[in-house]
Amino acid sequence: MRIVEYIEYVDFEVGGPPRAVVDLTRVLQKRGHDVTLATTSVKDVPAEWLAGEGPGVLEIPRPALPGGFFRPGQLAGLREVFKNTDVLQLHGVWERPNMQIAALARKMGVPYCVSLRGMLDDWCMAQGTFKKRVYLSLGGRKVLEGAAFVHCTADAELEQSGKWFPRGQGRVVPNLIDLEQFETLPGPERAQKRWPHLAEDGPNILFLSRIHVKKGIEHLLAAMPRIAQVHPGTQLVIAGTGDDAYLASMKRLAEQQGVADRVHFVGHVGGEEKLSLYEACDLFVLPTSQENFGFVQYEALSCGTAVMTTKLVDTWREIVGSGGGVAVDQSADAIIEGILPLLADREKLVEMGQLGRAWVFDRLSIERVASGLEAMYRDAAAE
């Protein structure tokens, strides 16, 4: 099939969706499809793709009109690509240019799917509700209900989101993870060399995600004094970037809790160093307020690292069912209650990591997930 994947930014520091779209594009191309990745930012597009080796890349000029909209001429390249496109997939809900791109696709007879990326989940819709309702009424809902399918990555996401596009059609397919990068892991030594405290007795806890109020880092930091009291060697690594003011407030909180000496803010970590960091830690904790899929949780499991998440994640039942994770309420007390017995049984954590890794390679195998996406694309093109 001839497929176009559009996401506004390919910048891995803004979170999981750009990585997911790059993985999706790579896998679809390997499976014989003619794929074009369209974006206004190619920051983390693989260099070989930009050199003409691999999937096609269309860099669209940044929107030049007020309000973040494209001038008509800025979409000339996309209009040309659409002449030979079977299906378009838009990623995201609140990006205003998506309305223009969806309208262009409808005008040219190109069916499209929209991946929500969790943006219509209850927690997200409770943030800035009035503006989001206005946006949906002014055209956002038309984009969703004009799609062949609205792509959700979990049943729970569709249950929460469906009320916002009542005349649309949802389709549940998990996020595609390019598991090839996890087949042969680099080992923990690289991370231990860069952060020597990871080579000590531990236990080592990892948070790796965007540094954002949604992620609930404050609950984990509030739990750290009790965790450290019971397990004095505990180290917490917080990897990721985000708003400077919020990051500074989390560093102050670590100081106020008296755990700044064992909480390490290490910034963005990528590539093999990220995989090594997962391996060097005993437990990955994501105390988040909302995730439709939680890409980093499955990265951790793919590296054989056990996961603790919250029951606010759409896929928490799947994570628990994998044998590789536990889910708790979003509070310091719940984290303490759940984490202390885990850290007391490091062998159990290793076993959980092994179970989770095996589950990911089975249930989220490239063949299984890609086949589901391809079926969605074929059905969309046939409408």
Domain locations in the chain as residue ranges: 2-179+365-382, 181-363
Average pLDDT over residues 120-140: 94
Whole-number pLDDT of residue 13: 80
Q: Which helix (H) or strand (E) holds 159?
A: helix 155-161
**For 163-179, what is each residue's pLDDT tens digit?**
999 999 999 999 898 89
Q: How far apart are CA 342 and CA 346, in angstroms?
A: 7
Q: Which helix (H) or strand (E) holds 283?
A: strand 283-285
**Helix 295-302 and helix 16-30, axial crossing angle in degrees, nearest 10:** 60
Half-sphere exposure of 305 (CA within 13 A, CB side): 32
Using the predicted structure, report yes or no on whether residue 29 has a pLDDT greater than 90: yes
Q: In this structure, which CATH number among 3.40.50.720, 3.65.10.10, 3.40.50.2000, 1.10.10.10 belongs to the domain 181-363?
A: 3.40.50.2000
User: What percent of the chain shows pLDDT beyond 70?
Assistant: 100
Whether 181-363 and 2-179+365-382 are alike in CATH topology: the answer is yes
**For 59-107, what is each residue's pLDDT tens digit?**
999 999 998 899 989 999 999 999 999 999 999 999 999 999 999 999 9
The number of beta carbons lying within 10 Å of the beta carbon of residue 269 is 20
Whole-number pLDDT of residue 226: 97
Domain 2-179+365-382 has CATH 3.20.20.140: no
Whole-number pLDDT of residue 49: 96
CB-based burial, 274-300: b 16+ in 10 Å, e otherwise = bbbbbbbbbbbbbbbbbbbbbbbbbbb
Average pLDDT over residues 193-213: 95
Using the predicted structure, report yes or no on whether residue 14 has a pLDDT greater than 80: no
Q: Which two tokens stand for residue 235?
A: 């180290």
Using the predicted structure, report yes or no on whether residue 19 has a pLDDT greater than 90: no
| Region of 380 on the Ramachandran plot (φ > 0 left; ψ -120 to 50 alpha; else beta) | alpha
What pTM did the predictor assign?
0.82
pLDDT band at 363 (very low <50, low <70, confident <90, very high): very high
Q: How far apart are CA 379 and CA 41, in angstroms?
A: 30
